[in-house]
Structure 1
C-alpha cells in the first residue's frame, strides 16, 4: 500500500492551532496573564534603574553648580549690574585709589573703580531688584574729606560725609509756634536752632533715598503755660505721635528701620520722658514709638536711666551767642566776684508739691553760704546784669534743679567763669571734644557744705591751669549754636556724632541708575 505524504501549508497549521486554542480557551486565559505580569515586572525594574541613574546625574549637576557658586567671589557681582555705574549713599572712598585712570560721573562710582576696591575689601554688593545693599567691610579706610565730583565733597570736614533728609511737616508742628519770640530764644530752643541750621546746611538732601538720617522737626517746648510762663509738656506725646503717624503714612522710611535712623530733639528736664518731675517722668518713660529713634537731649546721666536710651545724644541747652567775636580774652576782664549764683532757691526744701527741689542742694547753699557776702554772691531774684555778673566771677555755682543739667554750665563756660558742677551722675554734653575735668570743678551733692574749702584748694593748686583751658575758643564754640552753622559749633558737633554713628551702621543703600 502506498502512503502518499501531502505537504500541509503553514497557514493551515496556524489556523488549526488557533482553532485548538479556541477549544482550550480556559487554559489559554490562565497562562496569558502570567506572561504579561512577568513582562510588567521586568519593565518596572528597567524603569527603576533608569530613574536611579537620572537622580545620580541630577545630584552630580547640583554639586558641581554649588561648588561653582562657592568659587565665585562676591566682589565680581558689580559685573552683573544693569548699568555701568552705581550710586553710593552715602559716598565713601579710600584715599589711595587712583581716580585719574577712571572716568567718574559726579556722584557715582564706575564699575572699574568698584572692582578695584576688591583687595581692600571695602565693599560687598548684593542684588535686590533694582536696589543693592553695600556693607562696609573695613573701617580702616577713611578719607572723608576727599572730593570726587560734586556729590562727594565734605565741606564741613566731618568724620564722614553724611546726608540728612528733613521732613516737611505741616506748620502746626513747628513754625506756627514761632509767633512767640521766646520759642527761638529760651533755654529749650535748641530744637528750633538745630532745625534752622540744618535747613541751610550742606548735609541736607532733598532725595530721601540717599539720606543717612531723617530729621523730624517738631517744636515741643514752645507751648508756654500762661500762668507760670514755663513750657507745658502735656501735649508733647500726642504731638510727636501725630508727626510719626504723618511721616510713616507719607513715606516708607520710618518703617524700613523702625525709626532707628530718625532724629528728634527733646530739650526738656527729662528729655523724651516729657515731664519736669523725675518720679512722673520715670513712671511714664519714653513713648514706645520713640525708643528706637535717635534723641538729641539736654538730659544726660552717666548711669542707666529710663529717660535716656542707647541712641540718645547729650547736647547743650540753647544759650544766645554773645554779641561780637568769640575770640575775646576772658583773662582781661575784672574778676571781683569769688563764687557766684543767681537763680531759684527754695528756702524750705519741700515746695508746694511736696517734692524736694534740687534734692535740697540749693537750700544748703543758701543756708551755709548766703551770709558770706564777701566771698559768695548768691541772689534769688532775676537781674538784667546776669551775664556781666558771670564775667566778673571766678567760680560759677551750677547746682542741679529739677533735673541734673543746667544752662548755667554753658553760660559759665562761654563767659570764662569756672563751672562748679554740683549734680551727681550728670553726663555733660560733647565729652568727645570738651575735656570737662580740665575746665570745671565737680563737687558731689553730699559735700556741698564743704564748698568753701574745696574752692580754696583749687585757688591754691590749679586755678590758672583751669582758666587757661577754659578760655580755649574751641570749647566756647562747641557749646554755642552759631548762625549760620559753623564747623566746630554745637550743631556741627551733632553732625559729627551722627557721622561717627553712621560708620558703624550695618549697611547703606546703593541704588542702580
Structure 2
C-alpha cells in the first residue's frame, strides 16, 4: 500500500503529541512549600484568578511516602474553603447579587462602598467560614487583657471579644487546626503600663523590653506549635493602637517579615504596608460606655462651619493652631473649649469636624465626628485610612493637604449645599461600620476589623509540600 505524505504526517501526530506532553512535564517547575500572594489589594471590584503572583516561603513538612489516594490535610481543607469563598465573591460581582444560606438584614448599597456586591458577599463568606485561633499562652495583664476605655480601648475590647465570647463569637476557632489566622493577644498598651511606667528618664523610652517580650512570645508558640514555622508567621497577627507597635518589627525584620499588624498608627512612612497590615480606627471610649451620646443635629440646625478642640500635639496641629486658634467664628479652633460648652454637643452643631493628626497619624476625632453626623475633614500625611479596601472615604469625608491649612475656610465654603448634604447623608450611612457592639454585630467596627483581616487571608494561598 502506498503511503502518501499526508498519511505519513497523520501517523506521526500521536507520537508528536506524546513528546510535547513529556516536554511540558519535565520543563514545568515543581512547586514546593510556599504561599502564593494574589495581587493586592484584593480589589473586590476586579477579583480575578488571572491576576496572581507567587512568593516562595519555605515550609517545613515531614517527608511522607507516595500514596495512591491523597488524604486531605488541615491546610487542604482550609484552602478549599477559601477557594470557594473567592469563587462566591467573583460570582457576586458578575451577577450583582448575593448568595446566602440565611436571611440578610442589611445589604450594603451606595457610593460609600467601592463594590457593595463584592463586599456583601465577602462579609457573608467571612461569617460563614472565618476562624481565628487565639493563643492561650501568657498571663494577664500583659497578655489576654487590655484597656477597655480611653484612647487605646479598641485593643482591650478586641481581646475581650475574642477571648470571652465563647459560644457567641462565630469567629473563635475551637481548635488551631481549623483556624485561618492566629492571634497573639498581647496588649502593647498594657506592656507600656506595667513594664515601662513610671517613665523617669530618656532610657525608659527605649523599646528593647517590648521587642524582647514579643520575640519571646513568638519563640514560645513557635516551639510549642507548628503553625508559625510553617508559614514564617504569614497567617499570624497582633492588634494594637499604641504608638510603639511599629518598633517591635524594626528589631527583627526577618522574623516579622510576613507578620500582619493591625494598627491605629497606619503611617506608610513608618513601615505600614497596606498589602500586609490592617488600618483600624482609633476609638475613644468613656469609662463604662461603648461610645459617645448621639447629639448630632439635622443639617439645617448645624450653625458652625468647622470645629476642632484639642492640644497642639505634633507639627500639623501647631500649624492649625497658629493660623486658626480662636480667630474665626465660622472656623472654631480651640486648644480648650470655652467654659460651659460640651465637646460632643458642639460637634453635633458643626457641619465639618477638623481631624488633624497629632503626634501620630490617627485621631479619635474621625470616629467621634462620624458618630456626631459631622463630616470629617482629614488633615494628615501618609495616613492609610481604616477599611479603605471597601469604603470610599471621598464619599463621606474631605481631605485637606497640610500645605493648605491656611485655606480651610475657602475650601469648605466652596462645598455646595447639595454636595454637603450628600456627604452628611453618607456619614450617617457609614456610621454603623464605626460603632462598637458587645457582643459584636454584623458590619460593626469589630466585624469590619475582622473583614480587613479576612481579605488579607483571602489574598494568599498556603500550599503543602509533596
The normalised TM-score by structure 1 is 0.60
Match of 1:395, SS state, is: strand
2:431 to 476, 495, 500: 476
Find the partner of 1:297 among 252, 260, 263. Answer: 263
Within a 5 Å distance, the mapping from 1:317-356 to structure 2 comes to 317-320=282-285, 321-322=290-291, 330-331=297-298, 334-345=301-312
Task: Report the alpha carbon displacement of residue 220 of structure 1 after superposing the two structures with TM.
Answer: 0.7
User: How do residues 350-369 of structure 1 correspond to structure 2 at under 5 angstroms?
Assistant: 357-358=314-315, 361-369=316-324
Does the residue aligned with 2:344 lie in a helix, a strand or coil?
A: helix
SS of the residue corresponding to residue 506 of structure 1 reads strand
Name the counterpart of 1:255: 229
Question: 2:185 touches 2:238 (CA, 8 Å); kept in 1?
Answer: yes
Checking the alignment, whether the CA contact within 8 Å between 1:270 and 1:403 is kept in structure 2 is no
8 Å contact kept, 2:355–2:377 = yes
1:134-153 aligned at under 5 Å gives the runs 136=80, 139-141=86-88, 145-146=100-101
Q: Of residues 486, 489, 502 in structure 1, which corresponds to 2:441?
A: 486
* Cα offsets for 1:311-361 (capped at 9, x unmatched): 10111112333367x7x8642794233321111116xxxxxxxxxx32xx3
**Distance of aligned partners of 1:203 and 1:337 in 2 relative to their CA distance in 1, 3 Å threshold:** same
Alignment partner of 2:306: what SS? strand
Q: Is the 8 A contact 1:263 1:296 kept in 2?
A: yes
Of structures 1 and 2, the one scoring higher in RCO (CA 8 A, sep 6+) is 2
Which residues of 2 match residues 195-206 of structure 1 at below 5 A? 195-199=159-163, 200=165, 201-206=169-174
- 8 A contact 1:317–1:410 mirrored in 2: yes
Query: Structure 1: 5+ residue runs without aligned partners?
Result: 1-62, 71-124, 148-153, 275-280, 347-356
Q: Residue in 2 aligned with 1:91?
A: none
C-alpha displacement at 1:263, in angstroms? 1.5
Matched residue pairs, number?
Answer: 353
Cross-structure match for 2:246: 272
Check the 8 A contact 1:260/1:294 in 2, yes or no. yes
Distance (Å, rounded) in 2 between the aligned partners of 1:419 and 1:486:
24
Q: Which residue in the other structure is 2:189 paired with?
A: 221
Distance 1:336 1:169 in 2: 54
Cα contact 1:318–1:480 (8 A) shared by 2? no
- Written as runs of structure 1 = structure 2, the 5 A alignment for 1:331-480 is 331=298, 334-345=301-312, 357-358=314-315, 361-381=316-336, 385-459=342-416, 462-472=419-429, 475-480=430-435
* Counterpart Cα distance in 2 of 1:450 and 1:285: 41
Contact 2:144 2:186 in 1 (8 A): no
Distance 1:332 1:451 in 2: 20
Output the aligned Cα RMSD: 3.7
- The residue number in structure 2 matching 1:311 is 276
What are the superposed Cα offsets for residues 104-126 of structure 1, whole Å, 9 maximum, x if unpaired?
Answer: xxxxxxxxxxxxxxxxxxxxx97
Cα distance between partner residues in 2 of 1:495 and 1:126: 36
- Indicate the residue corresponding to 1:162 in structure 2: 130
| Deviation for aligned residue 1:128 | 6.3
CA displacement at 1:309 relative to structure 2: 6.4
Rounded Cα–Cα distance in structure 2 between residues aligned with 1:131 and 1:177: 30
Q: 1:433 to 1:319 in 2, by over 3 A?
A: farther
Q: Deviations over 1:364-406 (max 9, x none)?
A: 3222222424223222237893222222222211112222221
1:186 paired to 2:170 = no
For structure 2, list consecutive stretches of 5 or more residues without a partner in the other structure: 1-17, 26-67, 90-97, 103-120
Contact 2:353 / 2:369 at 8 angstroms: preserved in 1? yes
Larger radius of gyration: 1
Equivalent-residue separation in structure 1 for 2:311 and 2:305 (angstroms): 20
Specify the SS of the correspondent of 2:321.
helix
Change (3 A) 1:131 1:491: closer
Over 3 Å counting, the alpha-carbon distance change for 1:310 and 1:371 in structure 2 is same
Establish whether residue 212 from structure 1 lines up as the match of residue 186 from structure 2: no
Q: Distance in 2 between matches of 1:398 and 1:408?
A: 6
How far does residue 257 in structure 1 lie from its aligned partner after superposition?
Answer: 0.9
| Aligned-pair CA distance for 1:285 | 6.4
SS in structure 2 of the partner of residue 184 of structure 1: coil
Q: How far 1:423 sits from its partner (Å)?
A: 0.9
Please state how far the C-alpha of 1:184 moved relative to its aligned partner. 1.7
Question: Would the aligned equivalents of 2:138 and 2:144 in 1 still touch at CA under 8 Å?
Answer: no
Give the direction of change, closer, same or farther, for the CA distance of 1:339–1:132 in structure 2 (3 Å limit). Answer: closer
Query: Cα deviations across residues 457-498 of structure 1 (Å, max 9, x unaligned)?
Result: 1255621221111121xx222123321111101110122233
